[in-house]
Amino acid sequence: MRRSFGFVLMVLAVFTCDAYGQVTTSILPGGAGNWKLSWADEFDYPDVQLDASWYSVNGPQTWILCSRWRENAVVSDGTLKLVNKKESRGGQEWTSGSIWTKNKFQYGYFECRYKYAAATGTNNSFWIMTTGTTPAIGKKFEIDINEGHYPAEMATNVHNWTDVTTDPVTGKSTHPTSSKSFSFSTAKPDINIQLETPVTAKRFRFSSTFGSHFHIQEFRIYNVNAAGYPSVLSPTADTDVNGLVNFVRDPSTKITSSGVYGAGYEVQNVADGGLVKHWVSQVAGEKWLEFEFISNQTIGCIQFVNGWQSDGIWNALITNYKVQYLNGTTWVDIATFDASQSGMNLGKEFHIYGLQWSEDSLIYYFDGKAMRRIKNNFCFSPAPVYLSEAIIPWAGEITDAINGTQMEVDYVRIYERLATMAPKIRAVPADIHLRGNTLMVKSGTYCRIEVFNPTGSLISTKQVVGGESTVRFDDAGVYLVRVSDRHSVFSKKIIIQ
């Protein structure tokens, strides 16, 4: 049985939806009640108003492949678009957009909801960087909350721009940096393709259109084996199970490839029986390996190991591939994989990238989940926030598919802890009360209402656009209702019985 528990709030709040009608919500560490919204941009205004809060790059930058201009930063339909164009300007063949806030910020929770430009070779970034001279405390720094690469990679970095050193022989400059990336596709290093129906053929082929060079540590094509097959990541796989025959390692097998990254990464490394040496493909174009046996063989399992490890983390995992055999004159698929189809595609979906920055630590978030936590050793001064699109070769192959793509930003929000600054509550015409198990919201302006469970997890949002809206509670319990605008957060507990 439910009993009503009513209340009235008189506050100012702002609610917006994205260009596709999706409700936009914040996911705050530790719960909404711990934070006060101190600054935000919802991009819900005419394009010309962008210049009131943001500076824009206007010109070329030689370390990337595009010049960047204010005209490529477009506000429309409630979002910011950083648009890539194939056009000659500023001495470069591509243009894009990059902006940074006129305000500087120090500590708090920073979040941005955006989706990537849907093409390889694009760098979709939300970041913080000091400007000017080295600060009195700490170092000049760059915190990359996310340098996103299509289709499904999040990259987090911290750069120390004070302690730059230059090699006197090569002239190359380096600086201390810490990086860690995350793949949200289903790409993995150990690929095991066990065939329900064995295939008999003389030629087999592996291919991928992965945007940059990649590593294959070992490639195995096994016979039909009643005793089964080994673990893919075993360095002694070929001898782990009785009865195995790896046809790739037969001296009569011809192995060819599309190319090689450089000396020491030759194709024969895929058949040396270990995981130390790698074949590394060329950078551009389709990459492939072909295996031709001296006669037809019947195959029961195909395995390969891709990527490379650093500090226990797998890097540069391929996001698409095909494994085929030649049936007369036709290549027939055995297995295919495309992370943009079967895994997460960050060029099709909006996601929230966040950073909790304090004097002690940096904690990176993806959709409210803490992904990385490191000690803050030198990022101690106020700095502006950047939104940047760039075209770079280490983000994948550069093709004409980039033309017309865009990094699309729903909002940027910056919060301060309520423990150090109390929320401001202002009386404005917004009426919120409970009738039975239904929350009634009435306002003469745009209003954002967010409902959380006691642990701080978001369970519902509602918008009011100069009228009345409702939120129905189906279950008894304690809930937190938050009303927020760009300058304040007000929270109220309600009980449904």
Report which of 187, 193, 183, 196 is spatially closest to residue 219, judged by C-alpha positions: 193
The pLDDT of residue 457 is 65
Helix (H, G, I), strand (E, B) or coil at 390: strand
Q: What average pLDDT does the segment 178-206 reach?
A: 83
pLDDT band at 458 (very low <50, low <70, confident <90, very high): low
**Residue 328, strand partner residues:** none
Q: What average pLDDT does the segment 160-169 reach?
A: 87
342 compared with 414, residue with greater pLDDT: 414
pLDDT band at 441 (very low <50, low <70, confident <90, very high): confident
Which token pair is 473?
Answer: 């509670």
pLDDT of residue 452 exceeding 80: no
Ranges 19-33, 141-155, 200-214: which has the least confidence: 19-33
342 compared with 181, residue with greater pLDDT: 181
448 compared with 265, residue with greater pLDDT: 265
Q: What average pLDDT does the segment 93-101 reach?
A: 98
In whole angstroms, give the CA distance from residue 59 to residue 90. Answer: 6
Which token pair is 336?
Answer: 């295919």
The pLDDT of residue 456 is 60
In whole angstroms, give the CA distance from residue 355 to residue 110. Answer: 5
Cα Rg of the chain (Å, integer): 27
Query: What phi and psi, each to the nearest 5 degrees, are found at residue 39?
Result: -160, 145
pLDDT of residue 23 exceeding 50: no
Report which of 227, 224, 223, 260 is spatially closest to residue 242, judged by C-alpha positions: 227
Report which of 384, 349, 353, 383 is spatially closest to residue 366, judged by C-alpha positions: 353
CATH among 3.20.20.70, 2.60.130.10, 2.40.10.10, 2.60.40.3080 for 1-30+423-497: 2.60.40.3080
**Residue 303, strand partner residues:** 192, 220
Q: Are 396 and 152 in contact (CB under 8 A)?
A: no
pLDDT band at 463 (very low <50, low <70, confident <90, very high): low
pLDDT band at 251 (very low <50, low <70, confident <90, very high): very high
- Per residue in 53-77, pLDDT (tens digit) is 999 999 998 889 999 999 999 999 9
pLDDT of residue 368 exceeding 80: yes
Q: Are 120 and 399 in contact (CB under 8 A)?
A: yes
The pLDDT of residue 257 is 97
The pLDDT of residue 444 is 66
Give CA separation, 268 vs 201, 203, 265, 286, in Å: 21, 17, 8, 19
pLDDT band at 21 (very low <50, low <70, confident <90, very high): very low
Query: What phi and psi, each to the nearest 5 degrees, are found at residue 373?
Result: -135, 125
pLDDT band at 14 (very low <50, low <70, confident <90, very high): very low
Dihedral sign (CA 371, 375, 377, 378): positive
Mean pLDDT of the chain: 85
Domain boundaries, the chain: 1-30+423-497, 34-184+345-417, 190-341
Q: What average pLDDT does the segment 401-418 reach?
A: 95
Going by CATH, does the domain composed of 34-184+345-417 fall within 2.60.120.200? yes
138 compared with 394, residue with greater pLDDT: 138
Q: What average pLDDT does the segment 257-269 reach?
A: 95
pLDDT band at 20 (very low <50, low <70, confident <90, very high): very low
- Per residue in 98-121, pLDDT (tens digit) is 999 999 999 999 999 999 999 988
